[in-house]
A and B are shown apart, each in its own frame.
Chain A
Amino acid sequence: MKNLMTSKARAYPVGLVVGWLIALPLPAETVYVTLEKDNALAVVDGVQGTLQKTVSIGKRPRGLAASRDGRLLYVATSDDNSIVVLDRASLTVTARLPSGEDPETFALSSDERRLFVSNEDDNQVTVVDLAGRRQIRQIPVGVEPEGIATSADGSWLVSTSETTNMVHWINPVSLALIDNTLVDPRPRACAFTADSRQLWVSSEMAGSVSILDTATRQLVKRLTFNIPGVTREKIQPVGIALDAARRYGYVALGPANRVAVIDAQKLEVLRYILVGQRVWNLAFSPDGQSLYTTNGLSNDITRIDLPSHKAVKSIAVGQSPWGVVALP
């Protein structure tokens, strides 16, 4: 490797310097996307907008998360009934976690010592100890648990059940169920604000987003969406992304093919951004300047420039893109 580099450097010293100078101001940004139908993980250069490679990782990969240091990737391979841990540098599987049956989404605890998994078919949340790679407990929740999230302050784990239409509030340390809040039909995804004071829950069937106050666990505001030229049935909110400053919230609206931009202070919908078909999940770029969406039916991801709130580029990645993370 070293020999190769030095011989190249000798051959193209000017090119290297120029290339380095040009490359310098661009922040590198690698986007990882799970491809549900290709059983693979796509690696995309976000700045260039190009697919770099696709790696096979297991059957029906869906939920995706990265460790805070960016060295590990966790992927729920649903039909393998496990969550695989990938070394990000080599993209090889280093471990398999016992996730319970058919894992779809999961959340890391704020201290990254535990992983909480929704088991849709078994109506439970599986708690995995990351260091020991073993199951600690299975917490029974409502029917068809789907969305799962932990608050940054470490005080809450929540799970949403699609059929019971409830948010289950769980203590992430004692693993005791504390409270339930009824929300609109078919709650899909949930996300805490960075200050942990609010929980946003998207209801796919009702076409709404419920914003709950963490302290009282009661509804603060229910947001609905109205897009000119798009029928109400097509508006099916799923993925939620809330920026660190809590200025804007973004909600993927599924078959409406749009991402809603919400003023996170006034809790009002500001505008809709057209992206690819059946947009489900969202991820911020590391610098917070872009938002990536996975478009399940058009088989691509769209990069939205956040300062201007405009869709900039859509990049074909493979069949049924599902989960997404962007790392430096």
Chain B
Amino acid sequence: MTPLRYLRALGGIMLRELFRFVHQRERFISALVRPLVWLFIFAAGFRSTLGVAIIPPYETYILYEVYITPGLIGMIQLFNGMQSSLSMVYDREMGSMKTLLISPLPRGYLLVCKLLAGVLVSLLQAYAFLVIAGLSGVDIPLSGYISVLPALILSGLMLGGLGLLMSSFIKQLENFAGVMNFVIFPLFFLSTALYPLWKMEESSPWLHGLAGINPFSQAVEMIRFALYGQVNPYAIAYTTVAMLIFVVAAIVGYNPSRGMMQRKTGAP
């Protein structure tokens, strides 16, 4: 197996994912509209509720839309991760997954390629959103568009890994509503995407604790700091560890000879 073949496989999978993304224009638009609705409608209503305390990385008072922008980027990547997981289940049901897995390359590698392809798509969505947010007056330093990139890649990998792991649990496409209910909503609402941790502590120490251990919170905080050219080592470490756990578990779970798939499909 030459490295070239590995690269070709990666390129092929990425290209396929990109084509799929480009051809599903509705998906791109809905991926963009969702956070924009939050930004322009939800945040507009809450404009003055925050701005009462200064928390790092901010050094002065900010409008609510500035606060939730990193959370909405996280939301884009969270939905994208779940969407990739959905398409994995779809591919499995349609049989195109077989074509992929028939390749002589190691399965784990193919899954990582799939993951990277998903991250690439999420980056395009995130930057499209960032540009619109920036044009509409959400104040992000120009250098922030570059310094946020590594954070976006890491959070994309973590959330994509989670999606990958989910897809090995979901047997049928119909179960996806459950994913919405039990994964996306708790992850998103129980995080620092919409409210800072101290605000949650005021209402319930219990919620505060849950939001603190939520890996999505840490991914959002990592993006938040990176947008202002700052580093949050704790959030980066937390996200990295979560990413490794998800990806390894997903790869293990996808191996039909052992792990979850075998148990689930009830191999003979």
Contact = CB atoms under 8 A, between A and B. Distances in A.
B47 A276 contact: no
A234 B63 CA distance: 17
B52 A277 contact: yes
Interface string B32-59: 0000000000001001100110100001
A312 B61 CA distance: 9
Which of A274, A276, A311 has the most chain B CB atoms inside 10 A of its CB? A274
Contacts of A314: 54, 59-61
B236 to A, nearest CB: 25
Nearest to B63: A274
Interface in A63-109: none
Nearest to B48: A229
Contacts of B62: 274
Interface in A214-229: 228-229
B139 A302 contact: no
B47 A228 contact: yes
A23 B61 CA distance: 28
B60 A311 contact: yes
Given A310-B139, A314-B54, A275 B60 contact: yes
Nearest to B59: A313
A257 to B, nearest CB: 7
Contacts of B51: 257, 274
A51 to B, nearest CB: 14
Contacts of B60: 274-276, 302-303, 311-314
Contacts of B54: 314
Contacts of A311: 60-61
B59 A230 contact: no
A267 B60 CA distance: 28
A230 B48 CA distance: 7
Interface residues of A, number: 17
Interface string A297-326: 010001100000011111000000000000
Question: Interface on chain B toward A: helix, strand, loop, or mixed SS?
Answer: loop
A275 B61 contact: yes
B237 to A, nearest CB: 28
A110 B60 CA distance: 36
B139 A276 contact: no
B26 to A, nearest CB: 31
Nearest to B47: A229
Contacts of A230: 48
Contact of B61 (A228, A229, A274): A274
A218 to B, nearest CB: 37
A312 B59 CA distance: 7
Contacts of B52: 277, 298
Contacts of B59: 49, 312-314
A275 B59 CA distance: 11
B62 to A, nearest CB: 7
A22 B47 CA distance: 40
A289 to B, nearest CB: 17
Contact of A276 (B44, B48, B61, B63): B61
Which of B47, B59, B139 has the most chain A CB atoms inside 10 A of its CB? B59
Contacts of B61: 257, 274-276, 298, 302, 311, 314
A312 B62 CA distance: 10
A149 B58 CA distance: 36
A83 B9 CA distance: 80
Contacts of A310: 139
Contacts of A228: 44, 47
Nearest to B137: A271
B132 to A, nearest CB: 18
Nearest to B54: A314
Interface string B124-141: 000000000000000100
Contacts of A257: 48, 51, 61
A302 B51 CA distance: 13
A314 B56 CA distance: 12
A49 to B, nearest CB: 8
Interface in A113-168: none
Contacts of B44: 228-229
A229 B51 CA distance: 13
Interface of A: 49, 228-230, 257, 274-277, 298, 302-303, 310-314
Given A229-B44, A274-B51, A303-B60, 16 more contacts: A49-B59, A230-B48, A257-B51, A274-B61, A274-B62, A275-B60, A275-B61, A276-B60, A277-B52, A298-B61, A302-B61, A311-B60, A312-B59, A312-B60, A313-B59, A314-B60
A-B pairs, 7 with minimum CB distance: A229-B47, A314-B60, A313-B59, A311-B60, A274-B61, A229-B48, A313-B60
14 contacts: A49-B59, A228-B47, A230-B48, A257-B48, A257-B51, A257-B61, A274-B51, A274-B60, A274-B61, A274-B62, A277-B52, A302-B60, A314-B54, A314-B60
